[in-house]
Amino acid sequence: MKEYSFFQDVWEVVKLIPRGRVTNYGAIAKYLGTGMSSRMVGWALNAVPADNSVPAHRVVNRQGLLTAAAHFGGDTMKRLLEAEGVEIINNNQVKDFKALIWDPVTELEI
């Protein structure tokens, strides 16, 4: 049996976020049973494999801000989201964030 680390668990959840939708660090932490570990989710996303198999650009902060944009370099995070139909306003805010939020707690079976 293969053991998974917390980082790998985060990556597996992020891979399930549909194109054109976003989630936040806290929602992932809550789904994984570690509701107070939003920062650890962020650390896991900072360590995603370079093969682009984890769509980390779909994870924003609890207010819908692209707080991780600097880790993508330039406006890469914004461009990736916009290519999926997510509108970004004021250069770093997901427009209609509440309508686009994907919550793994309600979307996935635990």
Answer yes or no: are the C-beta atoms of 103 and 23 closer than 8 Å. Answer: yes
The model's pLDDT over 66-95, given as tens digits with 9 standing for 90+, comes to 998 888 888 999 999 999 999 999 979 999
**CA separation for the pair 103, 108 (Å, rounded):** 8
Domains of the chain: 6-100 (1.10.10.10)
pTM of the model: 0.91
pLDDT > 70? residue 2? no
pLDDT of 13 reads 97
